[in-house]
Structure 1
Amino acid sequence: MRRSPLLPIFLTVFVDVLGLTLVLPLLPFYAEHFGASELVVGVLAASYAVCQLVSGPILGRISDRVGRKPTLLASQTGTFFGFLVIGSATSLPMLFVGRIIDGLTAGNLTIAQAYISDVTRPEERTRAFGLIGIAFGSGFLLGPAITGELASRFGYGAPAYGAAALSLTSILLTATLLPAKPIALAAPPEAAAAEPARASGASVIGRGDAFRRFFDRPLPRRRLLEFFAFTLSFSTLIGGLALFLERRFAFGVKETGYLYAFSGLVGGSIQGGAIGRLAKRFGEERLALIGFGTMVVGYGLLGVAYALPTLLVLVGIGAFGSAVVRPAVTTLLTKSVGRDEQGAALGVSQSLASLAQIVGPIGAGWLIEHRALSAYGLMAAGFAAVGVLLGLQKLPVGEPVES
């Protein structure tokens, strides 16, 4: 394990996600503490995504040109300062400033995914991307539960300061453990041939050119749209979940944190061992379809959940779906483009994710503000259903399949 190039990236992503999940369930309650309405809570979540929309493709291209490690360090430093601002917030505008700082430098996950693509063979990539899922699942298991305890004991600022400390730890891990230049586990000859093009900056393309390059080709376009549908569904759910729980079940930050932890336990269990076997048995395409389908069921039935056992079952079903869709679709995306295009393609996917993270939370906040709690769940399920429809479409005759 000490020699695996995936170990340091897993550790850095895990610590990053742990910090993120300390803040994620906190922000709606923190914002309401300063007088924010449900819609403003959604706008707060969207402000991060607006900034990420600008920064994501830029960071993806920079990482292709100057390397993953320095770009990741810069991104993590921005996250660190953003958490510090949130922890010291004395007003709602300060919360917005903290999220904006974090959003403008938000490239941690995209760069980590590009790094994984650098050091894995295509057939191993779903399992490797499952490491990101393990990091998310572990972070969602530990972070929200810790948030509830810290916020109830020391106030709303304490979890953000804890997240800042974790972000600083992540910076140190990246600086000391991550190789400056990724070394492929078993790089195929065509990958080695692509290195001169990458080194010369041939893969660095403008954002508009990147969208056109990938959306003009049926296979990358389909994968990007599937990723967009997934992120739109998931961000709608997460963007309104704390508000939904507060109004339907009278949950506070502590109870909400524990529910997030339960979701993380389910997702981490799937991605910790089962994702590789599931990918081999069903293939990434069918696995993505199964995941989208379970998201439709889990999210769509939230409106009929009035008892805690029903809520836990639906959250568990939805958590399974998101746990398998993310690595499957990400793998399919990286397989649909050339090796020297992967950083740019993941940057475009991050731009689409940012768009989703703008629309989802604002839509969820607006619906919950108008007490349309059932419609909130159906909205998240509807976006997942789009992913099902995309997965069922047949590619044009003659379109190459992923290698």
Structure 2
Amino acid sequence: MRRSPLLPIFLTVFVDVLGLTLVLPLLPFYAEHFGASEIVVGVLAASYAVCQLVSGPILGRISDRVGRKPTLLASQAGTFLGFLVIGSASSLSMLFVGRIIDGLTAGNLTIAQAYISDVTRPEERTRAFGLIGIAFGSGFLLGPAITGELASRFGYGAPAYGAAVLSLTSIFLTATLLPAKPIVPAAPPEAAAAEPARASAIGRGDAFRRFFDRPLPRRRLLEFFAFTLSFSTLIGGLALFLERRFAFGVRETGYLYAFSGLVGGSIQGGAIGRLAKRFGEERLALIGFGTMVIGYGLLGVAYALPTLLVLVGIGAFGSAVVRPAVTTLLTKSVGRDEQGAALGVSQSLASLSQIVGPIGAGWLIEHRALSAYGLMAAGFAAVGVLLGLQKLPVGEPVES
């Protein structure tokens, strides 16, 4: 049997995410170790996103032109170097340098999504994008728990060095397993006929204007932005929230991240394909946004561990179904040759949300507004609900 074309990209994304999740719950405690305030912790997270905001569309377009594999390798090399700097950090400024290096080359997820679009048909895409969700869920299950143990036993630098080793492994997997030119399913004749016009459009104007001028891609991008704003706000302040409300350290925080990853990975590992077939991507995204509103919005009333676990589980379900559903809807709303650029724009919006979310969360937590922190994350998810309830403009084509 021929090996699935999604296997190598799943392996590389899984190893990348595992490395990321080794560092993600660590950074707030690492920064506080060097005297950072809550708002500075948010700025540290935002520094990565500011750089990614610039690099995302550029890397997406480069991958459309020169190929997914070389662009992904360059991106992974930057991640590897950034982790090394963080692991050897002796000051807060070195943490910033490590995150900036990583952010300037941060295109791994965008390129992986574009690769999946290359090798799958539209009707298969939600399940295929669920593979990235499985990678995220598995990474969040294993990485944070490992981080807690490594940091408590060997110091804050140890998880970052572990992440660097995983990043190097990811580079090796990409170099050896990922085909240089993926096998692309044949496009329908009408889509093939439209390719030259779309390619010409790609060469003109700004990527944001090109997609936001069209009602359907604009709606999908705004839904993705609402999701990433909500999720980034939650993740950007979660460690600080847990530290202040429940007196959690890096080990306990790591285990809670792991629980969230278990829920998300379970959904995307087996249920996401069936859910997409039963409800369709639009309704599935709406359900996911609704559960995010509930899970995040009620965090302020969580004072006992069982309540916290229930709410985190609800929110994890929501984010687990929204990401693949909305990403699928986005790729279906544009031409095949535009998918890399569209996903690059979505990554830029994600980067913008990763600036606003952590800084906003840090500011609220610094002012002891813990309930408002959860409500802020829920409010952004509620925008996704409102977008999902809107009807498409009359005459607007449906995704195919």
CA 16–193 in structure 1, closer or farther in 2 if over 3 Å, else same: farther
Residues 175/203 of structure 1: CA separation in 2 closer, same or farther (3 Å cut)? farther
Q: Does 1:26 align with 2:41?
A: no
1:65, distance to aligned residue in structure 2 (A)? 0.3
Deviations 1:352-391 (A, max 9, x none): 1111000000000000000000000000000000000000
In the alignment, is the contact (CA less than 8 A) between 1:120 and 1:187 conserved in 2?
no
| Aligned-pair CA distance for 1:184 | 2.2
Q: Which residue of 2 aligns with 1:320?
A: 317
Alpha-carbon contact 1:82-1:98 (below 8 Å) kept: yes
The 1:153–1:350 alpha-carbon spacing in structure 2 relative to 1, beyond 3 Å, is same
Question: Contact (CA 8 Å) 1:31, 1:95: kept in 2 or not?
Answer: yes
Please say which of residues 1-10 and 251-260 is displaced more in the overlay: 1-10
Q: Is the 8 A contact 2:195 2:335 kept in 1?
A: no
* Partner Cα separation in structure 1 for residue 265 and residue 388 of structure 2: 24
After superposition, what is the alpha-carbon deviation per residue over 1:233-269, rounded to whole angstroms, capped at 9, x for unaligned? 0000000000000000000000000000000000000
1:48-90: per-residue Cα shift (whole Å, max 9, x none)? 0000000000000000000000000000000000000000000
Cα shift at 1:7: 0.3
Equivalent pair of 1:236/1:364 in contact (CA under 8 Å): yes
Matched residue, 2:110:
110
Corresponding position of 1:195: 195
Quickly say closer, same or farther: Cα 1:12–1:243, change in 2 above 3 A: same
- Quote how far apart the aligned CAs of 1:158 are: 0.2
Note closer, same or farther for the CA distance 1:65–1:190 as it changes in structure 2 (3 Å cut).
Answer: farther
Q: What's the offset of the Cα at 1:123?
A: 0.4
In structure 2, the CA distance between the partners of 1:212 and 1:13, relative to structure 1 (3 Å rule), is same
1:188 is displaced (CA, Å) by 4.0
Q: Aligned to 2:17, what secondary structure does the other structure show? A: helix
Q: Per-residue CA shift, 1:189-210, capped at 9, x if unaligned?
A: 4566677789xxx478479611
For structure 2, the 5+ residue unaligned runs are: none
Contact 1:230 1:387 in 2 (8 A): yes
Pair 1:263 & 2:264 matched? no
Q: 1:21-53: CA deviations, max 9, x gaps? A: 000000000000000000000000000000000
Q: Is the 8 A contact 1:204 1:344 kept in 2?
A: no
Contact map agreement 1:194 1:340 (CA 8 A) in 2: no
TM-score normalised according to structure 1 size: 0.97
Alpha-carbon spacing, 1:195–1:208, altered in 2? closer, same or farther (3 Å): closer
- Mapped to 2, the partners of 1:298 and 1:50 lie a distance apart of 28
Q: Take 1:21 and 1:350, find their aligned partners in 2: how far apart are those partners?
A: 18
Deviation at 1:16, TM superposition (A): 0.1
Per-residue CA distance 1:107-147 (angstroms, 9 max, x = gap): 00000000000000000000000000000000000000000
1:194 touches 1:339 (CA, 8 Å); kept in 2?
no
Q: d(CA) in 1 for partners of 2:39 and 2:214? A: 37
Please give the alpha-carbon distance, in whole angstroms, between the structure 1 residues aligned to 2:253 and 2:326. Answer: 28
CA contact (8 A) 2:290 2:381 kept: yes
Q: Which runs of 4+ in 1 moved over 3 A?
A: 185-198, 202-208
Superposed CA offset, 1:170-200 (max 9, x none): 00000000000010255544566677789xx
Q: Distance in 1 between matches of 2:258 and 2:2?
A: 29
Q: 1:204 to 1:133 in 2, by over 3 A?
A: farther
Change (3 A) 1:364 1:183: same
Between the aligned partners of 1:57 and 1:203, the Cα distance in structure 2 is 18
Distance change >3 Å, CA 170–CA 349, structure 1 → 2: same
Q: Percent identity?
A: 97
The verdict on how the C-alpha distance between 1:117 and 1:233 changes in structure 2, with shifts beyond 3 A counting, is same
Are the aligned partners of 1:119 and 1:186 in contact in 2 as well (CA < 8 Å)? no
Assess if the C-alpha contact under 8 Å between 1:295 and 1:384 holds in 2.
yes
Q: Is contact 1:130-1:327 (8 Å) kept? A: yes
Map of 1:374 onto structure 2 = 371
Report the Cα offset of residue 154 of structure 1: 0.3
Say if 1:74 and 1:402 are closer, same or farther in 2 by CA, change over 3 A. same
Q: CA RMSD in A?
A: 1.5
Residues 328 and 50 from structure 1, CA distance in 2 versus in 1: closer, same or farther, beyond 3 angstroms?
A: same
Aligned 8 A contact 1:61 1:205 in 2: no
Indicate if the aligned counterparts of 1:207 and 1:348 stay in contact, CA closer than 8 A: no
| Contact 1:214 1:221 (8 Å CA) reproduced | yes
* Partner SS for 2:303: coil
The 3-state SS of whatever aligns with 1:337 is coil
Is contact 1:17-1:136 (8 Å) kept? yes
Q: Distance in 1 between matches of 2:266 and 2:186?
A: 28
| Separation in structure 1 between the aligned mates of residue 277 and residue 168 of structure 2, nearest angstrom | 37
CA distance in 2, matches of 1:206, 1:28: 42
The offset of 1:395, in angstroms, is 1.1
**2:202·2:338 contact (CA, 8 Å) conserved in 1?**
no
Any gaps of 5 or more consecutive residues in structure 1? none
Q: Which moved more, 1:178-187 or 1:28-37?
A: 178-187
Q: Deviations over 1:301-360 (max 9, x none)?
A: 000000000000000000000000000000000000011110010011011111100000
Q: Counterparts in 2 of 1:4-403, with a 5 A limit? A: 4-185=4-185, 187-189=187-189, 202=199, 205=202, 209-403=206-400
CA contact (8 A) 1:203 1:341 kept: no
Q: Partners of 2:17 and 2:200 in 1: how far apart?
A: 29
How far apart are the structure 2 equivalents of 1:117 and 1:204? 19
In structure 1, C-alpha distance between the alignment counterparts of 2:355 and 2:149, rounded to whole Å:
29
Would the alpha carbon gap of residues 399 and 194 (structure 1) be closer, same or farther in structure 2, given more than 3 Å must change?
closer
TM-score by length of 2: 0.97
- Counterpart CA distance in 2 for 1:85 and 1:172 is 20
